[in-house]
C-alpha cells in the first residue's frame, strides 16, 4: 500500500450562486495543487454552491446546475491528476442533502451526506436539508478517508462511527463563520474528536464574506497525538499542500504551512475589512460613499473601507450644519488627507431649512425637540443616497453596536446605507480598533501604513452634533458602563438581577433594557453588517418587534 500521500487544502472564497465561477476556482486550485504533487484536493462545505446558499437550494434549476457542474468536474479527473473532494447540494432519492462528492478517474466515486444539521445561531440547515446516514469511510488513493462535514465533528457519533468502520484520516470540510473565540472552540472540539478516535484530522474552512457572515479560513491539521502539523493563514485564500506518511501507528502529517493566528482585535478588524470588501465586490459596486463627520465611528469605517477597496474607490462627504464644530471640519479633512480619498463638503442648511419651512404649518405651536434634530440626519442620509444613485457607489453606514442596541440612531438618516462594517462592534471596541489601526494593518490591506485616525478624533468626547454642546452621554450611560450591560443583555441573555449583582446600578440596567427592546423596529430596518460577536443583530438574534415582556428585575423577584 502507498506509504505517502499529498493532500492539498483549498482554503478559498466562493461566491454564493456563482456555480460556474466556483467550479472555475476548483479547476485552478486543482491545477495549482497538481503542480505541487498533490494527489487529493479538499474543498470547503458546499463550495460549489457557495455557503450558506439558504433558500437557493429549494430551486430545482439551481440544484440541476450544481449537479451538472459536479459531473463536468468529475469527467476532468480522467486526466490522472488529483482527486477532488467538493462540497455541493445533492438530491438523492428525492431527499436534499448537504453533501461532498468525491471525484476521481473521470467519475463520481463516492458521495457522503452531512449527518448532523445545525439549527442554532446563524444556522438553520434543518429547514432545507435532510440529514444523511452516519458516514462510511471512502477508499481514495490508498487511504481510508473519513469525510465528516462541519457540524458532524461537534458531536461524537459521526467520528466514532468512522473510526469503528476503519477510517485512517479525517478530512473535514467546513463552513464555519468567524466570531471572536471561535478559533479556540474549534481547536478544543477537534482535540476531543482526535482523542476519542485516535485519528489525525485536517480541518478545512472557507474564507470570505457572505452578507453578514465572514469566514476566516484559519484551517489546520492535528495529528493523532493532537500535535499541530499545519496552520493556514486567517482571512486569506490559499491552496496549501500537506504531506503525509503511513507509520506503524497510522497516518501522520509531517509537512504543511505554519502561519500565525491573529489576536482577537486584529481578527475582528480583519473580519470587518474582508466582510466589507466581499459585500462590495460580490455585489459589483464600483466603490463606496460615506459621511465623514469628524467622529470616531465614521473615521474607523473610512479606514476600513480604504483597507478593503483602496482609496480610489472610497468617497467621503462632510455634511456640515450650524452645529458642526470647526474641530469636526478640520478632523474630517485630516483623516481624508491621511487616507488619500476623494473628499467633498456639502452643506445641509438649505435642505434642513427647506424641510423645516415645509413642516412649519403642521408644527405650529409646538416646541422644537428631537424631531428637528432628526431632520439634520435625514437630510444627510438623503444626500448620501442621492450620491449613491447618481454614481453607483454603495453607502456605508457607520453606526456601532452600542447605538444599534439603544436606538441612538435615526431611521432614514444615519442608518441609511447598504452595509455597515462596524455594526457588531461596541463603541469601546471602536476606540480600541482605531488605536490598533494606527500601529498595524491586516495583510492585504490597501490603505496607507501608520497613523490614519488622528488622536484628536480618538480622544474627543463623542457627539452627534445635532444641537449646541451635545454629547452622547446626555442620553446614554458612559460607554464603558453601557457596553458591559449590553453585552450581558444581548450576548449572554442575563437577567437584570444578575447584571445588577455584578455591580451595575439596577435602574441603569432597566433603562438600557428598555432602550434595547424599544429599538427592535429600527434594527429590523438597518443595513446588514459584519458579525464578530457571539450574537449579532440579524441572523443570531430574532426578537419580535411587538413585545410587551420586560424583565421585572430584582425587586419583583423579592
Per residue, the 3-state secondary structure of 113-131, as one string, reads ECCCCCCCCCCCHHHCCCC
For residues 184-211, give the mean pLDDT: 96
Region 376-394: mean pLDDT is 96
The binding site for deamido-NAD(+) consists of 374, 403, 522
Q: How far is Cα of residue 357 from the mean position of the Cα atoms in its chain?
A: 44
Whether residue 250 has pLDDT greater than 80: yes
Closest CA to 536 of 497, 499, 486: 486
Give the β-pairing of 40-42 and 4-11.
Answer: parallel
* CA 514/CA 508 separation, integer angstroms: 10
Strands 250-255 and 220-222: unpaired
* 18-27 CB burial, b ≥16 within 10 A, e <16: ebeebbebbe
For the chain, give every domain's residue range.
Answer: 4-253, 265-467+521-543
Which residue has cell 466589507? 276
Which residues line the annotated binding site for L-glutamine? 120, 176
- How many angstroms from the chain centroid is the CA of residue 149? 20
Q: pTM to 2 decimals?
A: 0.94
Give mean pLDDT, residues 205-223.
96
Q: Which residues are annotated as a binding site?
A: 120, 176, 291-298, 374, 398, 403, 522
Residues 6+ apart with CB under 8 A from 340: 306, 311, 448
Dist CA 231 CA 523 (whole Å): 38
Greater pLDDT, 336 or 470: 336
What are the grid coordinates assigned to 222, written together?
492535528
Residue 455: how many other CB atoms lie within 10 Å: 11
Task: Determine the Cα–Cα distance for residues 132 and 149; give it in Å rounded to an integer.
Answer: 11
Active site residues: 45, 114, 150
pLDDT at position 465 over 60: no
Model confidence band, residue 558 (pLDDT cutoffs 50, 70, 90): very low
Which of 45-49, 311-315, 366-370 has the weakest average pLDDT? Answer: 366-370
Weakest mean pLDDT among 146-155, 185-194, 352-361, 529-538: 529-538
Q: Helix H segments across 407-495? A: 427-437, 455-459, 479-486
* Burial call 134-167: b when 16+ CB within 10 Å, e when fewer: bbebbebeebbbbbbbbbbbbeeebbebbbeeeb
Of the chain, the percentage scoring pLDDT greater than 90 comes to 86
Residue 557 pLDDT > 50 = no
CA distance 83 to 351: 63
The answer, yes or no, to whether residue 412 has pLDDT greater than 50, is: yes
Domain covering 4-253 assigned CATH 3.30.56.10 in the classification: no
Q: Which three cell numbers stand for residue 236?
A: 486569506
Task: Give the architecture (CATH level 2) of 265-467+521-543.
Answer: 3-Layer(aba) Sandwich (3.40)
Q: How confident is residue 556, by pLDDT bands cut at 50, 70 and 90?
A: low
Tell me, letter by letter, the H, E, C secondary structure of 165-207: CCCCEEEEEECCECCCCHHHHHHHHHHHHHHHHCCCEEEEECE
The three-state DSSP-derived secondary structure of 482-505 is HHHHHHHHHHCCCCHHHHHHCCCC
Cis peptide before 52 (omega within 30 of 0): yes
Q: Do domains 4-253 and 265-467+521-543 have the same CATH topology?
A: no
Take residue 392 and report the three cell numbers written for it. Answer: 453607483
Give the pLDDT band of residue 554 (cuts 50, 70, 90): confident
- Give exposure, 61-92, as e/b (b: 16+ Cβ within 10 Å): ebbebbbebbeebbeebeeebbbbbbbbbbbe
Integer CA distances (angstroms), 338 to 291, 299, 378, 434, in order: 16, 11, 28, 14
Mean pLDDT value of segment 201-221: 97
Strand partners, 107: 104
SS3 assignment, position 481: helix
Distances 87 to 70, 156, 439, 532 between C-alpha atoms, Å? 10, 22, 39, 25
Q: Is the pLDDT of residue 125 over 50?
A: yes
The Cα–Cα gap between 462 and 456 comes to 11
Chain segment 323-353, per-residue pLDDT in tens: 888 898 999 999 999 999 999 999 999 999 9
Q: How far apart are CA 236 and CA 206, in angstroms?
A: 10
100 phi/psi in degrees, rounded to 5: -120, 140
Return the half-sphere exposure (C-beta side, CA atoms, 13 A cut-off) of residue 194: 24
Q: Which of 7, 17, 74, 24 is nearest to 46 (CA)?
A: 17
**363 Cβ contact partners less than 8 Å away, ≥ 6 residues apart:** 371
What the block records as the C-alpha cell of 65 is 446546475
Torsion of CA 103, 105, 107, 110, to 10 degrees: -50
Q: Does the pLDDT value for residue 467 go beyond 70?
A: no
**Given pLDDT bands bounded at 50, 70 and 90, which one contains residue 308?**
very high
The DSSP 8-state label assigned to residue 340 in this structure reads: T
- Give the per-residue pLDDT at 323: 86
Whether 498 has a pLDDT exceeding 70, the answer reads yes
CA angle 389/392/398 to nearest 5° reads 80
Top pLDDT among 168 and 325 is at 168
CB atoms within 10 A of CB 279: 27
Compute the average pLDDT of residues 96-120.
94
Contact 528, 275 (CB under 8 A): no
pLDDT computed for residue 201 by the predictor: 98
Amino acid at each position: 500500500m502507498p506509504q505517502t500521500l499529498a493532500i492539498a487544502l483549498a482554503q478559498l472564497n466562493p461566491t454564493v450562486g456563482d456555480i460556474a465561477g466556483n467550479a472555475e476556482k476548483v479547476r485552478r486550485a486543482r491545477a495549482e495543487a497538481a503542480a505541487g504533487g498533490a494527489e487529493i484536493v479538499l474543498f470547503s462545505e458546499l463550495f460549489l454552491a457557495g455557503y450558506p446558499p439558504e433558500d437557493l437550494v429549494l430551486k430545482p434549476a439551481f440544484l440541476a446546475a450544481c449537479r451538472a457542474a459536479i459531473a463536468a468536474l468529475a469527467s476532468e479527473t480522467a486526466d490522472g491528476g488529483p482527486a477532488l473532494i467538493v462540497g455541493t447540494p445533492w438530491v438523492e432519492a428525492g431527499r436534499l442533502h448537504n453533501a461532498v462528492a468525491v471525484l476521481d478517474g473521470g467519475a463520481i466515486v463516492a458521495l457522503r451526506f452531512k449527518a448532523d444539521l445545525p439549527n442554532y445561531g446563524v444556522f438553520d440547515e434543518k429547514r432545507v436539508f435532510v440529514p444523511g446516514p452516519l458516514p462510511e469511510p471512502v477508499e481514495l488513493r490508498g487511504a481510508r478517508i473519513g469525510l465528516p462535514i462541519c457540524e458532524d465533528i461537534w458531536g461524537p457519533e459521526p467520528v466514532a462511527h468512522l473510526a469503528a468502520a476503519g477510517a485512517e484520516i479525517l478530512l473535514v470540510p467546513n463552513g464555519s463563520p468567524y466570531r471572536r473565540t471561535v478559533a479556540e472552540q474549534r481547536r478544543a472540539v477537534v482535540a476531543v474528536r482526535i482523542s476519542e478516535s485516535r485519528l489525525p484530522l485536517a480541518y478545512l474552512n472557507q474564507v470570505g464574506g457572505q452578507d453578514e457572515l465572514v469566514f476566516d479560513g484559519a484551517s489546520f491539521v492535528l495529528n493523532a497525538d493532537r500535535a499541530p502539523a499545519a496552520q493556514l493563514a486567517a482571512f486569506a485564500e490559499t491552496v496549501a499542500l500537506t504531506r503525509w506518511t503511513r507509520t506503524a501507528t497510522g497516518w501522520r502529517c509531517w509537512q504543511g504551512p505554519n502561519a500565525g493566528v491573529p489576536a482577537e482585535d486584529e481578527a475582528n478588524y480583519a473580519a470587518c475589512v474582508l466582510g466589507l470588501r466581499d459585500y462590495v465586490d460580490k455585489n459589483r459596486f464600483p466603490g463606496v460613499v460615506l459621511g465623514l463627520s469628524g467622529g470616531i465611528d465614521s473615521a474607523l469605517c473610512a479606514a476600513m473601507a480604504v483597507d478593503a477597496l483602496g482609496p480610489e474607490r472610497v468617497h467621503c462627504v462632510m455634511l456640515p450644519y450650524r452645529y458642526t464644530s470647526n474641530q469636526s471640519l478640520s478632523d474630517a479633512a485630516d483623516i481624508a488627507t491621511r487616507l488619500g480619498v476623494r473628499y467633498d463638503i456639502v452643506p445641509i442648511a438649505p435642505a434642513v431649512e427647506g424641510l423645516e419651512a415645509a413642516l412649519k404649518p403642521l408644527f405650529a405651536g409646538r416646541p422644537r425637540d428631537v424631531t428637528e434634530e432628526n431632520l439634520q440626519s435625514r437630510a444627510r442620509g438623503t444626500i448620501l443616497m442621492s450620491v449613491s444613485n447618481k454614481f453607483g457607489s454603495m453607502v456605508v453606514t457607520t453606526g456601532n453596536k452600542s447605538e444599534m442596541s439603544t436606538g441612538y440612531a435615526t431611521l432614514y438618516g444615519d442608518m441609511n446605507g447598504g452595509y455597515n462594517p462596524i455594526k457588531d462592534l461596541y463603541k469601546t471596541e471602536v476606540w480600541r480598533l482605531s488605536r490598533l489601526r494606527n500601529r498595524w494593518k491586516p495583510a492585504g490591506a490597501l490603505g496607507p501604513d501608520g497613523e490614519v485616525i488622528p488622536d484628536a478624533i480618538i480622544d474627543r468626547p463623542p457627539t452627534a452634533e445635532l444641537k449646541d454642546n451635545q454629547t452622547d452621554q446626555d442620553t446614554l450611560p458612559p460607554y464603558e458602563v453601557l457596553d458591559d450591560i449590553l453585552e450581558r443583555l444581548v450576548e449572554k441573555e442575563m437577567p437584570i438581577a444578575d447584571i445588577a449583582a455584578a455591580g451595575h446600578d439596577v435602574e441603569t440596567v432597566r433603562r438600557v433594557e428598555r432602550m434595547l427592546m424599544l429599538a427592535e423596529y429600527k434594527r429590523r430596518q438597518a443595513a446588514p453588517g459584519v458579525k464578530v460577536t457571539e450574537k449579532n443583530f440579524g441572523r443570531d438574534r430574532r426578537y419580535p418587534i411587538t413585545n410587551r415582556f420586560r424583565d421585572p428585575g430584582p425587586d419583583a423577584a423579592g
